[in-house]
């Protein structure tokens, strides 16, 4: 095994945390986007669903930007091989995210059923495609891709698709779908809440079985078996099973359980990957290690100081945002609402404090 430094390990862990944070936060965004069209039966119901993530979805995507930027700065060889080899797949993810985000912005811009229906399909597909392809991508990273001695990807797009990687994609899609359904349970009220409870009850068993199958396959392919990864895989299945069992009694506890499921699911993947950054299916001699992929110690030191100063500020701000917009929403909240600011004004007129609304997001302004 090739030697690696403490700073290299620290930044591998930090990048893992950034990716896991992204999947926790953007995971329920994906689920809400997929469910919005099916659960909302009229304009106000759909608006209530979109407003549950309206103030936070763009902040959640920042985690992806930071994870990519940190990978580029800390492990440039990893970034180079990953983004060149997976170029088409990552381009598809990027386009899907752009289409979804434009859908958030434009859905309420015109009082037209056809207009809204078109953007609803954009939101649905723009949420489902990344939820699937992120799992495919990480299954390839740990399962191995054709990389030569110069750390260059020698395959094509279709080499990324196999039974194992597609199962990984279905696993993340199932988890994010259920995670989003339970998030909606916590954030909605009335008839929308009743519908999403039924959906979550059906989605959770699927979110246990498919990820469990993928993790079993992952652990079975390890040679030798990595004990920590195997334990984390088992904990992931138990957390998702716990979410299934407690969801009928408490959506909040179920959401905590799915969050723990995502943490342990991806932790098992990162532990399996360590101390490599990319695994070569061509030859184990071509595996990219931390030491091979890393920037200089000076660069990692500077990055560590900057991260120590700024990351707590970012986390505090994001936590404050979730606290401000914490109240449940229902279709009845949007009867006379024309813009997100109107929703805040209406709550103030009723004697509320406006918390739980999304006046500052501007993501889905309502039409008359």
User: Does the pLDDT value for residue 353 go beyond 70?
Assistant: no
Q: In which band, very low, low, confident or very high, does the pLDDT at 368 lie, cut at 50, 70 and 90?
A: very low
What average pLDDT does the segment 55-77 reach? 91
How does pLDDT run across 119-136, given as a tens digit for each residue?
999 999 999 999 999 999
Q: What is the DSSP letter of 159?
A: G
pLDDT given at position 345: 59
Q: List the domain boundaries for the chain.
A: 6-280+293-349
User: Does the pLDDT value for residue 256 go beyond 90?
Assistant: yes
How does pLDDT run across 325-337, given as a tens digit for each residue?
777 776 666 665 5
How does pLDDT run across 302-331, given as a tens digit for each residue?
999 998 998 888 889 888 888 887 777 766
**CA distances for 208 relative to 64, 231, 251, 258, angstroms:** 25, 16, 17, 10
pLDDT given at position 361: 38
pLDDT given at position 351: 57
Distance (Å, whole) CA 219 – CA 204: 23
Question: Quick one: 216 exposed, middle or buried, by C-beta within 10 A (0-12, 13-18, 19+)?
Answer: middle
Name which of 76, 17, 81 is nearest 282 in CA terms. 81
Distance (Å, whole) CA 258 – CA 261: 5
Lowest mean pLDDT among 168-177, 257-266, 280-289: 280-289
3-state percent breakdown (helix, strand, coil) of the chain, nearest 5: 75, 5, 20
User: Does the pLDDT value for residue 346 go beyond 90?
Assistant: no
Tokens coding 223: 């040679």
pLDDT given at position 110: 83
What average pLDDT does the segment 180-188 reach? 93
Reduced to 3 states (helix: H, G, I; strand: E, B; else coil), residue 40 is coil
Q: In which band, very low, low, confident or very high, does the pLDDT at 85 lie, cut at 50, 70 and 90?
A: confident
Cis peptide before 224 (omega within 30 of 0): yes
Distance (Å, whole) CA 206 – CA 208: 5
Question: Quick one: 224 exposed, middle or buried, by C-beta within 10 A (0-12, 13-18, 19+)?
Answer: exposed
How does pLDDT run across 268-290, given as a tens digit for each residue?
999 999 999 999 988 888 999 99
pLDDT given at position 356: 42
Distance (Å, whole) CA 348 – CA 354: 6
Task: Determine contact, residues 232/274, Cβ cutoff 8 Å.
Answer: no
pLDDT given at position 365: 38
Lowest mean pLDDT among 102-116, 176-190, 256-270, 341-355: 341-355
Distance (Å, whole) CA 243 – CA 31: 16
The rounded Cα 31 to chain-centroid distance in angstroms is 9
pTM, full prediction:
0.86
Distance (Å, whole) CA 288 – CA 107: 44
**CA distances for 77 relative to 71, 220, 249, 276, 282, angstroms:** 9, 29, 48, 12, 18
How does pLDDT run across 87-113, given as a tens digit for each residue?
899 999 999 999 999 998 888 888 888
């Amino acid at each position: 095994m090739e030697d690696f430094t403490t700073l290299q390990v620290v930044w591998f862990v930090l990048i893992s945390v950034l990716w896991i944070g992204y999947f926790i936060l953007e995971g329920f965004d994906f689920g809400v986007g997929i469910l919005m069209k099916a659960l909302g039966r009229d304009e106000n119901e759909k608006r209530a669903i979109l407003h549950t993530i309206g103030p936070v979805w763009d902040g959640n995507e920042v985690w992806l930007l930071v994870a990519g930027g940190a990978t580029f700065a800390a492990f440039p060889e990893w970034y180079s091989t990953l983004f060149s080899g997976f170029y088409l797949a990552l381009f598809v993810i990027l386009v899907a995210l752009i289409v979804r985000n434009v859908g958030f912005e434009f859905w309420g811009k015109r009082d037209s059923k056809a207009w809204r229906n078109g953007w609803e399909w954009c939101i649905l597909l723009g949420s489902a495609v990344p939820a699937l392809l992120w799992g495919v991508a990480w299954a390839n990273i740990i399962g191995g891709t054709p990389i030569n001695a110069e750390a260059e990807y020698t395959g094509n797009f279709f080499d990324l698709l196999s039974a194992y990687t597609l199962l990984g994609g279905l696993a993340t899609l199932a988890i994010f779908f259920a995670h989003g359904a339970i998030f909606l349970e916590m954030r909605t009220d009335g008839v929308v809440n009743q519908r999403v409870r039924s959906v979550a009850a059906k989605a959770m068993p699927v979110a246990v079985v498919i990820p469990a199958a993928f993790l079993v396959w992952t652990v079975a392919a390890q040679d030798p078996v990595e004990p920590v990864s195997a334990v984390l895989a088992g904990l992931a299945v138990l957390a998702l099973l716990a979410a299934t069992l407690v969801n009928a009694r408490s959506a909040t506890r179920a959401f905590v359980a799915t969050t723990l499921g995502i943490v342990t699911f991806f932790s098992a993947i990162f532990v399996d990957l360590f101390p490599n950054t990319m695994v070569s299916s061509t030859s184990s001699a071509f595996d990219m290690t931390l030491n091979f992929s890393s920037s200089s110690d000076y660069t990692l030191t500077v990055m560590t100081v900057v991260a120590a100063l700024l990351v707590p500020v970012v986390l505090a701000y994001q936590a404050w945002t979730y606290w401000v917009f914490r109240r449940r929403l229902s279709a009845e909240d949007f009867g006379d609402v024309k813009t997100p600011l109107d929703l805040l004004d209406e709550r103030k007129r009723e004697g509320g404090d406006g918390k739980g609304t999304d006046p500052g997001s501007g993501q889905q302004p309502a039409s008359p």
